[in-house]
Chains A and B, each alone.
Chain A
């Protein structure tokens, strides 16, 4: 079974630039999550999708972050414009559905904002 795929793995941008991350969840997984993990901290949930609908985006900084999951499969997370404090690893995870217990995480995208 293929795991959660993310790209790119690394990205370096200057502040005020924009960036986009892509995630392909495990086939058949209805629920998709984006997390932000700042160095030395645990992951923090940014947004959760069930199919192509948003379940929870309460911690997404909506003035600069946006995410979509068209057709209920792949998802993109965008930051525009980026700030220095956005430097982090962005993790995508998926689960079979909201009520299942196990989330499968991708390898993450490491973003450095200079």
Chain B
């Protein structure tokens, strides 16, 4: 049970911002939200994580709603290399990641 809900697929134009939503309405107070992505034929790659504040790093921004029931991963200027499956994961202690089926993001030229 992945315990998060993501759209199965999304498209975005190259150079535009890609906004990937995730619903985690039953998240516990001590659970973080993690985002990983998996490019074809590669292992998953960590993108970002957060607890309740918005976070930004060199790859993406993570916006978490005030009630923590949902979040959005933002890739500010998507490139063709961002085409991948994106996984939103909620996890508490011991780094146990339960992957769902994720969102297949396709960046179109």
What residues make up the interface of A, taking CB atoms closer than 8 Å to B? 4, 31, 40-45, 48, 55-56, 91, 93, 95, 98-108
Determine whether the beta carbon of B43 is less than 8 Å from that of A100.
Answer: no
Query: Which residues of B from 80 to 109 have beta carbons under 8 Å from A?
Result: 85, 87, 93-102
With A42-B99, A42-B100 as known contacts, state yes or no: A55 contacts B94, CB within 8 Å.
yes
B2 engages A101 (CB within 8 Å): no
Of the listed stretches B11-19, B23-31, B44-52, B64-72, chain A binds: B44-52
**B100 cross-chain contacts in A, Cβ below 8 A:** 42
B96 CB to closest chain A CB (Å) equals: 7
Chain B residues whose C-beta falls within 8 Å of the C-beta of A98 in the assembled complex: 94-95
Question: A105 with B96: in contact, given A41-B101, A42-B87 (CB under 8 Å)?
Answer: no
Size bin of chain B's contact surface: 20 to 34
Q: Is the interface of B mostly helix, strand, loop or mixed?
A: loop
Q: Is the CB of B44 within 8 A of A43?
A: yes
A108–B39 alpha-carbon span in the complex (Å): 12
The answer, among A4, A45, A106, A108, for a CB contact under 8 Å with B97, is A45
**20 A-B pairs with C-beta separation under 8 A:** A4-B43, A40-B101, A41-B99, A41-B101, A42-B2, A42-B99, A42-B100, A43-B44, A43-B99, A55-B94, A56-B96, A91-B44, A101-B32, A101-B95, A102-B46, A103-B44, A107-B41, A107-B43, A108-B42, A108-B43
